[in-house]
Amino acid sequence: MSNQMRRIAIIGGSRIPFSRSNSVYSEKTNLDMLSATLQGVIDRFDLDDKQMDEVVAGAVTSHSKDWNLAREALLSTSLSPLTPGITLQQACGTSLQAALMIGAKIATGQIECGIAAGTDTTSDPPISFGRKFSQRLVKMGAARSARQRLAAFKGFGFSELKPVLPANGEPKTGLSMGQHCERMAREWRIPREEQDRLAMESHQKAARAYDEGVFDDLVTPWGGLSRDNNIRADSTMEKLGNLRTVFSRSPDATLTAGNSTPLTDGAASVLLASEEWAKAHSLPVQAYITAGRTSAVDFVHDEGLLMAPTVAVSEMLKKTGLSLQDFDYYEIHEAFAAQVLCTLAAWESEDYCKQRLGLDAALGSIDQDKMNIHGSSLAVGHPFAATGARIVSNLAQILEKAGSGRGLISICTAGGMGVAAILERD
């Protein structure tokens, strides 16, 4: 290993178009999509038959048969089969965390290159039986005689055959992410109109980015799509305002299908390397990962489930000596419009920053014209584990086209965690 920390170069990324669940990709699997996005990176950067040091990837909604999804996916591509595959899962922060893990190994000289990726589909959810019936099947499989097989079903009732679907909720609270976010919106007094406006602008910016060719290098047509099918270029405040709330019928509820991300299928990946490896392969560097941080909140005891990015960003800024205003671009994952607005409000709150973040003053406000300039998850969609790689690739390209600058990434996740990173270009 190197005695001196090396820079973590982002070469670039590729993703497949994102699709609303149970639509165009309804017959596709996580393996299909992850293989496709990895192949996109391979094709873009001429990596056919090349041995990479690592592929780190994962999915949030996965089947038990996908026991090492990253390895199986890379074996379905034209990468060298000598490339190791590591499967990781950290909810919506999965592929950003994968990038940070690969980056740490590059920085310390353990490896030279790697691909971070994520995929998710809720069109192909793992459906299982309850524990009682599952145990019967295990006993039947271990039986050595017909009598033992019959004994495994003693007392069987047809109610045991009721399938168990994946729960869209926090195991510790029983509440969905949307219900938790409704609580946050009430606590921070985030108006419905502000949420709808942020959602509308996200759709408009994403549609404009496609029309201007911004995503031509980042999005590889696949599976019948050439662009994300959730984007609504004609989104208006009136249309969004007519939608009913979906997570609560309370008079003060504000979250709708329009200002919340839809369930989405898709995959994204990004290539990282040392500067030496990039130069040896004649690949220009788009940007560098210069910092990262993962934090958590105690949402079980009433902290906001999706407020952990406020902590992660604060702790990362403290370590780097930067202020919240020292950035040219901000990529804040739009799990819900309310989540983004709660995060911004918290950073502006002197009480919150002093009492929760342990600071001497508020972090302050940001220039929202620099935030999610090509739209984000509300518009393009949010295949849970894929979002981090999408954002890293998007921000790296923005910095490359700008010629220089610094960008902040903030991603909230299920389980009350937040993952943050800083990207820079000289």
- % of the chain beyond a pLDDT of 90: 87
Q: β-pairing, 113-120 with 264-273?
A: antiparallel
- In this prediction, residue 235 carries a pLDDT of 96
User: Under DSSP, is residue 333 helix (H, G, I), strand (E, B) or coil?
Assistant: coil
The Cα–Cα gap between 353 and 369 comes to 23
Q: Give the tens place of pLDDT for each residue, 159-183.
A: 877 877 666 789 999 999 999 999 9
- Mean pLDDT for 307-329 is 98
d(CA 177, CA 336): 9
Q: How confident is the model at residue 194 (pLDDT cuts 50, 70, 90)?
A: very high
Residue 114 Cα distances to 9, 70, 86, 272, angstroms = 11, 12, 11, 5
Read off the pLDDT band of 82 (50, 70, 90).
Answer: very high
pLDDT higher than threshold 90 for residue 141: no
Q: Can you give the three-state secondary structure of 357-380, one letter per residue? A: CCCCCCCCCCCHHHECCCCCHHHH
Q: Is the pLDDT of residue 140 over 80?
A: yes
Does residue 144 carry a pLDDT above 80? yes
Predicted TM-score of the model (pTM): 0.94
Active site residues per annotation: 92, 382, 412
Q: Read out DSSP for 183-196?
A: HHHHHTT--HHHHH
Per-residue pLDDT reduced to its tens digit, 99-136: 999 999 999 999 999 999 999 999 887 777 778 888 88
Question: Which residue, 43, 48, 73, is CA-closest to 59?
Answer: 73
Residue 1 pLDDT class (50, 70, 90 cuts): low
pLDDT single digits (tens) 10-59: 999 999 999 999 999 999 999 999 999 999 999 999 999 999 999 999 99
Mind listing the pLDDT tens digit for each residue in 48-80? 999 999 999 999 998 888 889 999 999 999 999
Question: 371: closest CA among 394, 389, 348, 400?
Answer: 394
